[in-house]
Amino acid sequence: MRIGVTVFPGSNCDRDALYGVGRVGADAVELWHADADLKGVDAVIVPGGFSYGDYLRPGAIARFAKVMGPLEEFAKGGGPVLGVCNGFQVLTEAHLLPGALLRNTNMRFICDRVRVRVETVDTPWTAGCDPGEELTLPVAHNEGNFFADPETLSRLDEEGRVVLRYLENPNGSANDIAGVCNEGRNVVGIMPHPERVSDPALGSDEGLRILSSVLVGAGV
Amino acid sequence: MGRAPNFLELSLFSVMWSEHCGYKNSRPLLGRFPNEGARVVQGPGENAGVVEVGDGWALAFKMESHNHPSAVEPYEGAATGVGGIIRDILAMGARPVALLDSLRFGPLEEERNRYLFREVVRGIGGYGNAVGVPTVGGEVEFGQAYSGNPLVNAMCIGLIRVEDLVRSSATGEGNLVVLLGSKTGRDGIHGATFASDELTDESESKRSNVQVGDPFCEKMLIECCLKLLDEDLLVSLQDLGAAGITSSASEMAAKGGVGIEIETDSVPLRESGMEPTEVMISESQERMLAVVEPEKIDEVLLLAERYELVGAVVGRVAGHGDLRVIHDGEVVGTVPAEHLADAPVYERDVVRPRYLDDVPELDLSELPEPEDYNSVLLQMLGHPNLRSRRPIFTQYDHQVGTDTVVLPGADAAVVRIKGTDLGFAATTDGRGRHCYLDPRGGGAATVVEAYRNLSCVGAEPVAVTDCLNFGSPEKPDGYYQLAECIEGMSEACEVFGTPVVSGNVSLYNETDRGAIYPTPTVGMVGVLDDVNRHATSAFKREGDRVVVLGKTPPLLGESLPSEGDLLAGSEYLEIIHDKFAGLPQRSDLAAEKKVADLVRELIRSGLVDTAHDISGGGEAVALAKMAIEGGIGFDYDGEVEIKDLRHELRGDVVLFGETNPDFIVAVPEVRWDDLQNALVGFAYDLVGTTGGDRFKIGDLIDVKLSEMREVYERDLFESHAPEGGRIG
């Protein structure tokens, strides 16, 4: 399986995401922001970082990058897409995912490990997890406070589209939401960084539960 | 030069011969530092020191101060400090992989100090987080001497293959000089001279001397330069720091024994109407200077464009040895490059300051022994100097890069080298109070502290970078402190075999309230052959045997240090008794090395995974932190009487004394025999067992773990306002 990782100016978890992809035994493919070409990959990860310096709003400029055209088509065609942290912010700005990520309520950058619960296994990025499974994953963000209007929030709950939920909410997110998916369930955005716990040498490889799910779904 | 320099030329001298760039006061003293060793690939003189790790890997590292800018504009001052030190590492061709810092502020009771603390931490995070280099460790202390004159020292470590190292000397007549990165503006003009003066009421007006950082641009600059080097497109590379193009170009020329001509009209400018002088000494951030062969220039400029950077040919390498400035086709300034790079040296007399004779002696008989040790311990754990650093390091991205093995909060950070078993550890340490009371002893103790911290995680210490933060060298006190601290540091580095391979000097740290404590800070780097064999300080299991290793109690026949010596200059004296007195016992460097090396071997052999050194706050605070961090209680072994074992020392001396080479390790019951065998010939005490939810030491201390945690983890940013209100 070939998994692409987009690289925007200012992405800084792209190398980590490529490393994580390698850890699950898939082929990692770098997707440069200025090339409107997904190089035939089977899945795409939009990694964390500060694309375009987070100027204006996190993700607001990246959504206009050339690579986003084919990425949006890929997503609309049902291709598996995972946005991590800044990647989640990019996908909400691109309207591939609902809601928005606001400043953390404590107005500080938060780098920590948090407990989350897998709320649905019906997405390509959680298919390998157990329903209700609890994971400890790193977070590192300034704007991780998920916000959506009340109707959207209740729809997300009714349709089982909350993918990860914080057990202890670090940033003020509505309904403790740490990750959501789109209606088609193939596009997932999460604030925690699974690639940062993809190796026992780093103290944990629980992140592989997420990253390897896409292989399970594809029957690899 | 044989003639009077013109205004532009004088400006070049003004910035280059400032203390910040020219080290004119400190250079004669810096020669004292040992700087050779088996692992040293590059000693002082380049942008950073380099040591070999193994398997062809090397670490480039350096620490630098940004004290003055941070005093007047804390967010940008700290942020650009981080940006500047990253470019030093990049200039060696290394990928920056870890950041640390060493910070000092005045007491948090003062609003200005809270503001400086909060904004400096935000600035470090704001830059480091965005640029994608993890901040893996650091240290902070609070003290009256730093009120209004904070210390902000940033350290960066880069990883590189030995054969890929880049030097900064310009070579090849006719080669092109290329400026990469951001455009040049009027920001930071005369930053170097501002940083070489005392801080006064007028300093606030020099906020425009402080540069503004753009971490996004720096991130692109890192990726672009590494790509250019990877494709072998550069002859040499140099960062632009203090004194801007002037400093970089003259140093590159002087090192290569060539000249460089700069055409100021070719420099891409942020604003119009800039004079050639301004272009030459602007300290605009996120810029690098490269020497490129003419046939490779198109490729270089194309790559710069790919990374959305400004890239421009701004000059060429010439046969003459001058830095020539050309404007509108005419030479407007010519100075021999080596004159600029070679500031005059001021040798000063080293005179022992009078204050050293007036430091009050510590008379323990005047010091009441506490009645309630529980509340003393809680008060100590809650003091800003000893409290948890979590509220700070959770604002720093410490995991990006997926290599951080031991996270911040430990004695030292441990980072792996992907694709190998190798790892490296790093720590920053400073002991300003100790250096004030005894500059030579304190200088040595600073290095000792770093050596211990690395040993506690299982790393072999290999080399040192330093930041010498002192008051004015033009005053006898400041110069004496500088000379003596350097002597003490050098002695320790010699005994430990850890040469000083890079460093920086920050003098004139004075305000109208006086000078700071002399505070040399040390950044020490160590190597782990097997990164999985490391230790942390948190208790790991219930039922572990806890052992104190070291010199207390002294072996038979050795002289007993006086009780006063053990408490001199300690946190306990200051926090509980509001006293700053006494002469701390000087370290026995050979003994320090012996015990620290033992601890490292215990960890390397796989016997020990829990270790911590006893430093600020003494044994009780060290044990308490291990318990809090592990979430496991501790019970002092009831069979042993403290006073028998410790030669009838006072309880507070035993619990809170600081100046012995003592370590704490913990092992499970099943490894207890092995540990005893490994400790034959060394002094040690079995002090207790882990377990439960209380922390107990004999009949002196008995507190709930949760009670300790509550005071220890109180948010450093939210307490301390006089009314208990929120900061800011």
In this structure, the answer to whether residues B242 and B267 fall within a common structural domain is: yes
DSSP symbols for B189-231: TTHHHHTTS---GGGGGGGGGS----HHHHHHHHHHHHHHHHT
Residue-wise pLDDT for B6-20, tens only, equals: 998 998 888 888 877
Nearest residue, CB atoms, B401 vs list A16, A34, A109 = A16
Cβ atoms within 10 Å, residue B319 = 9
Residue B405 lies in a domain: no
Instruction: Report the pLDDT value the prediction gives residue B312, as an integer from 0 to 100.
Output: 97
Residue B3 lies in a domain: no
Residue B444 lies in a domain: no
Could you tell me the CATH number of the domain that includes residue A55? Answer: 3.40.50.880
> Could you tell me which of B265, B300, B301, B270 has the C-alpha nearest to residue B283?
B270
C-alpha distance from A177 to closest chain B C-alpha (Å): 21
Residue-wise pLDDT for B141-190, tens only, equals: 999 999 989 999 999 999 999 999 998 899 999 999 999 999 999 876 76
Residues of chain B with pLDDT > 90, as a percent, come to: 73
3-state secondary structure (DSSP) of residue B237: strand
B55 Ramachandran zone, left/alpha/beta (phi>0; psi -120 to 50): left
In this structure, the answer to whether residues B51 and B168 fall within a common structural domain is: yes
Q: State how many domains chain B has.
A: 2
| Residue A48 exposure: Cα atoms within 13 Å on the Cβ side | 29
Residues of chain A with pLDDT > 90, as a percent, come to: 92
Confidence of residue B552 (pLDDT cuts 50, 70, 90): low
Query: Does the pLDDT value for residue B516 go beyond 70?
Result: yes
Instruction: Report the pLDDT value the prediction gives residue B614, as an integer from 0 to 100.
Output: 93
Nearest residue, CB atoms, B219 vs list A12, A34, A109 = A12
Residue B697 lies in a domain: yes
Contact call for B215 and A19, based on CB within 8 A: no
In this structure, the answer to whether residues B336 and B356 fall within a common structural domain is: no
- Tell whether A112 lies on the interface with B, counting CB pairs under 8 A: yes
- Tell whether B530 lies on the interface with A, counting CB pairs under 8 A: no
Instruction: Report the pLDDT value the prediction gives residue A87, as an integer from 0 to 100.
Output: 97
Q: State how many domains chain A has.
A: 1
Could you tell me the CATH number of the domain that includes residue B661? Answer: 3.90.650.10
- Residue B42: what residue type? Q
Asked if B474 and B346 count as a contact pair (C-beta separation under 8 A), the reply is no
In this structure, the answer to whether residues B542 and B584 fall within a common structural domain is: yes
Asked if A156 and A55 count as a contact pair (C-beta separation under 8 A), the reply is no
Residues of chain B with pLDDT > 70, as a percent, come to: 93
| The domain boundary residue, chosen from B286, B316, B341 | B341
Contact call for A202 and B405, based on CB within 8 A: yes
> Could you tell me which of B56, B59, B27, B55 has the C-alpha nearest to residue B40?
B59
In this structure, the answer to whether residues B367 and B281 fall within a common structural domain is: no
Chain A residues in contact with B404 by the CB 8 A cut-off are 202
Instruction: Report the pLDDT value the prediction gives residue B362, as an integer from 0 to 100.
Output: 83
| ipTM score assigned to the predicted complex | 0.95
Per the listing, tokens 């809090």 go with: B628
> Could you tell me which of B617, B640, B656, B650 has the C-alpha nearest to residue B689?
B640
First to last CA, chain B: 54
Domain that holds residue A183: 2-217
3-state helix, strand, coil in chain B (%, to 5): 40, 25, 40
In this structure, the answer to whether residues B355 and B371 fall within a common structural domain is: yes
- Tell whether A64 lies on the interface with B, counting CB pairs under 8 A: no
Instruction: Give the pTM.
Output: 0.95
In this structure, the answer to whether residues B335 and B361 fall within a common structural domain is: no
Q: Is residue A73 classed exposed, middle or buried when 0-12, 13-18 and 19+ CB atoms within 10 A define those classes?
A: exposed
Residue B297 lies in a domain: yes
Task: Report the C-alpha gap between B728 and B720 in whole angstroms.
Answer: 11
Chain B residues in contact with A34 by the CB 8 A cut-off are 306
Residue B553 lies in a domain: yes
Residue B487 lies in a domain: no
Asked if B67 and B150 count as a contact pair (C-beta separation under 8 A), the reply is yes
Domain that holds residue B253: 8-341
C-alpha distance from A155 to closest chain B C-alpha (Å): 33
Residue-wise pLDDT for A69-81, tens only, equals: 999 999 999 999 9
Distance of CA A198 to the CA centre of its chain: 15
For residue B124, give Cα distances in angstroms to B69, B134, B471. Answer: 13, 11, 24
- Residue B719: what residue type? S
- Tell whether B299 lies on the interface with A, counting CB pairs under 8 A: no
| Residue B718 exposure: Cα atoms within 13 Å on the Cβ side | 9
Residue B302 lies in a domain: yes
Instruction: Report the pLDDT value the prediction gives residue B720, as an integer from 0 to 100.
Output: 60
C-alpha distance from A13 to closest chain B C-alpha (Å): 7
> In this predicted structure, which of A71-80, B192-201, B283-292, B486-495 has the lowest mean pLDDT?
B192-201
Instruction: Report the pLDDT value the prediction gives residue B723, as an integer from 0 to 100.
Output: 45
Task: Report the C-alpha gap between B525 and B503 in whole angstroms.
Answer: 13
Chain A residues in contact with B533 by the CB 8 A cut-off are none
In this structure, the answer to whether residues B336 and B372 fall within a common structural domain is: no
In this structure, the answer to whether residues B221 and B146 fall within a common structural domain is: yes
User: What does the longest C-alpha to C-alpha distance in chain B come to?
Assistant: 88
Residue-wise pLDDT for A153-189, tens only, equals: 999 999 999 999 999 999 999 999 999 999 999 999 9
What integer best gives the mean pLDDT of chain B? 91
